[in-house]
Every structure is written in structure tokens, then in C-alpha cells.
Amino acid sequence: MSASAPPTPGTAAPRQAALQRVQNFWQRVSEGRALDDLWNQFAADARSSYGFYGKDVDWEEIQKLPRWKRAFPVVRQYFWALMNKLSPARRVLLLVALVMLLFSNVRVSSGNQGNVDVNLQFVSAILFLFLLSLELADKVIMKRDLEIAREIQTWLVPAQPPVVGNAEVAFWTRPQNSVAGDYYDAFYPLADAASGGKLMLVMADVAGKSVPAALLMATLQASLRTLASEGLPLGPLAVRLNRYACEHSLGGQRFTTAVLAEYDPSTRKLSYVNAGHNSPIIRRTDGSTERLESGGLPLGITTEAAFVTSEVELRSGDILVLFTDGVVEAFNSAGEEFSDARWLDLVRNLPTVPAKESLHFLLQSVENFVGQTRQSDDITCLVLRCK
């Protein structure tokens, strides 16, 4: 029995080169991601697109139909939902491409001259590719502009937590889009930790999504920083901030929920105003929890709104958690919400670790719950831990 001959050097080198080109091409297309990761991303995109176009489907009318009659109306309404997102010229282009695809194999009879086959599949494919390139160009331009807006927005919030006497701060945010409507802050309006100044903590959520909410968030940040530098107490500060918000709220449609707090490192006292925001949580060292309940309307509803200032004393080892509704309303692939009850239980069982690790523990639990599911709201959290 003779052994098989080894491949000659002349054939092995081209095969290796071809294999390397294929690997490089796949690396460039997939950006080095595993197949499971790519599939999860595709599934998340598919669910997001289904929900996006599904908003234009009249599901109430669909439910009235017998099950066997629902398929065609659903497809028809999804098609029109897609068409309505295109410009009129691109709608015509899409219709032409679809007609060519449906009648791609046409046989024309010309009497004694025989039959002529007209194949329009290639032309249809070119039109689809051209339409895709137009949409991608718009998306790339918009993405570039949003990235610039995102970079500007990062300048408005602290990159690093401030130094706090007898405490430490950590914060994190995950925008639903490139830009966010959530606003968090931690700064000394008049002094710093060394001079015994009070630390201002802010957690706010502008109603709406993406660019409009981000623009109002920038307005809120500028107004708050200006008013805080005047040394106003929390109550009057909230009143004046509300007046600014009302001027840009479109008659109350673009309101903002917010928690404004002042922490005195020397006394560990926390003064706060809650303007319709999710109630922050204090986790005591014995494992018990307290909620800083809402004390007023959201900012931007009415100029006549009043805001009550409350005070609570923190002790060594206590943890204050501020967050936006994107945390408790985060959902997984089954549509199940993380829920306020699950979040409260998570805070109650926080390990005794520094603020940064506490924040990681909380948000990692949320990330594990939602998995690859694309969220519909920004997720933001701030943790203050007393030493």
C-alpha cells in the first residue's frame, strides 16, 4: 500500500494564499465577531425593525379578522409602513424594481419570428442595490452628525467623578441612540471638597428620545449650572429651573423629570427635591431601604408648580442610588420588564464594595437580564457611597 503523495509546493502556496484572502475578507465583514454574536445581533435588529414598522400597523383591525385572513393585511400594512419611510422618488424606484422582479421572465411572441425572452432580474437587482446605496448614504451622513452630537454631549456631563469627603461617587449611562435624553451630574457649585463645599447631585430624564431630547438636555444642563453658581437653595433653584424648562417644553409636551440633591460631606446630610422622577433608593448598612419619594411635578409642566425640599441623614456605609426609568423598564427578548421590584431587591442585596463596584454589580445584573435586546430608552445610574 503506497502512501499518498504530499502536495507539491506549487499548489500549496496558491491554496494558502486563497484561504488567507477568504479569512481576511470574512474578518473585514464580521469585524472578528463569532457567529453566535452575529446571530444575536441580527435577531436584535430584526426584533427592533419589526417593532419599528409595526407601529404603523392597525393591529386592532387585524385582530378582528379570522386568523386565516390576517397574513395578507399584515404584509400589506408592513409594506406601506416601509414605503412611507421613503421619499416619493425612492418609492417610485422601489415599485419599478418590484414590478421588474415580478415580471422578470417575460416571453414575447413575434409571429413567425419566434419568441423573445426578456429577463429583467439583473436590472431589478441593480435598482435594489442603487436604492440601498441611497439609504445607506443618508444613514452614514446622519450617523456622522450624531457622533459629533454625541461627542459634544459628553462634554456636558462629568467624565470622572469628583473627590468627595467621607464618600465616593460613580456613574454610568447607556444611550438608546447615539445621543441621550438622560442627564446626570455631580459637581461643586461654589467650592470644592477641600473647602468644605456641598456636592450637587443631579439625575434627570427629558421626555422623548434621540436628538430633540438631547437638545433639551443640553438646555437643562446649562440652566442648572448657571443657577447653581448663584448659590440658590434647592427649592428656589428648582422653581427657577422649572421656569426655564417651561419656556422650551412646547406647552408641557417636552417635560423633564429630575432629582436635585445637595450632599454635605461634613455632616453627611442630603437635601433633595424630587420633580416627578423615579424615587431614589437609600440602602442602609443593615440591609434596609428607603425611598426618596416624589415631591412635585416634573419640570416644564407649569410655571405655577411648587417644589418641596426634604432632608435625610446618611451614615457610614449607606449607599444612595439615583437612576432613570430606563433601568426599571429595561426588557428582555420575551418582552419582560426588569421592574422596580427587581431593582429594589437588587439594591437591597448590594455587596459591601466601593461605589464603582456597586455600580458595576447593579448594571451588570440589568445587562444580563436584557441580553442582546435593543432597548427603547436610555439607561443611567449614579451611586453615592458614604465612607
Do 169 and 140 lie in a common domain? no
- pLDDT at residue 283 tops 90: yes
- pLDDT at residue 323 tops 80: yes
pLDDT single digits (tens) 44-75: 777 778 777 888 888 888 888 888 888 888 88
User: Would you state the cell numbers that stand for residue 363, as one nine-digit string?
Assistant: 448594571
Do 274 and 379 lie in a common domain? yes
- Name the residue among 275, 281, 174, 178 with its Cα closest to residue 224: 275
Amino acid letter, 74: V
Per-residue DSSP letters for 65-101?
S-GGGSHHHHHHHHHHHHHHTS-HHHHHHHHHHHHHH
Do 357 and 373 lie in a common domain? yes
Per-residue pLDDT at 8:
57
Cβ–Cβ under 8 Å, residues 328 and 291:
no
Asked if the structure places residue 95 within a domain, the reply is yes
Per-residue pLDDT at 252:
62
Do 284 and 246 lie in a common domain? yes
Amino acid letter, 27: Q
Do 228 and 317 lie in a common domain? yes
Determine whether 261 is exposed, middle or buried from the number of CB atoms within 10 Å of its CB (0-12, 13-18, 19+).
Answer: buried
Secondary structure (3-state) at 258: strand
State mean pLDDT over 138-146: 78
Do 138 and 248 lie in a common domain? no
- The model's confidence at residue 116, banded by pLDDT at 50, 70 and 90, is low
- The neighbouring-strand residues paired with 310 are 272
d(CA 266, CA 282): 19
d(CA 383, CA 288): 17
pLDDT single digits (tens) 327-369: 999 988 888 999 999 999 999 989 889 999 999 999 999 999 9
Asked if the structure places residue 144 within a domain, the reply is yes
Cβ–Cβ under 8 Å, residues 305 and 341:
no
- Name the residue among 259, 298, 296 with its Cα closest to residue 280: 259
Look at the chain and report how many structural domains it folds into.
2
Per-residue DSSP letters for 322-362?
EE-HHHHT-B-TT--B--HHHHHHHHHT--S--HHHHHHHH
Per-residue pLDDT at 45:
77
End position of a domain, from candidates 96, 128, 150: 150
d(CA 151, CA 136): 22
Asked if the structure places residue 30 within a domain, the reply is no
Do 175 and 310 lie in a common domain? yes
Alpha helices in the chain (DSSP H): 9-30, 35-54, 59-64, 71-84, 88-102, 121-156, 210-228, 234-247, 325-328, 340-348, 355-370
d(CA 305, CA 296): 7
Domain hosting 246: range is 157-386
58 phi and psi angles, rounded to 5 deg: -85, 85
174: DSSP letter: E
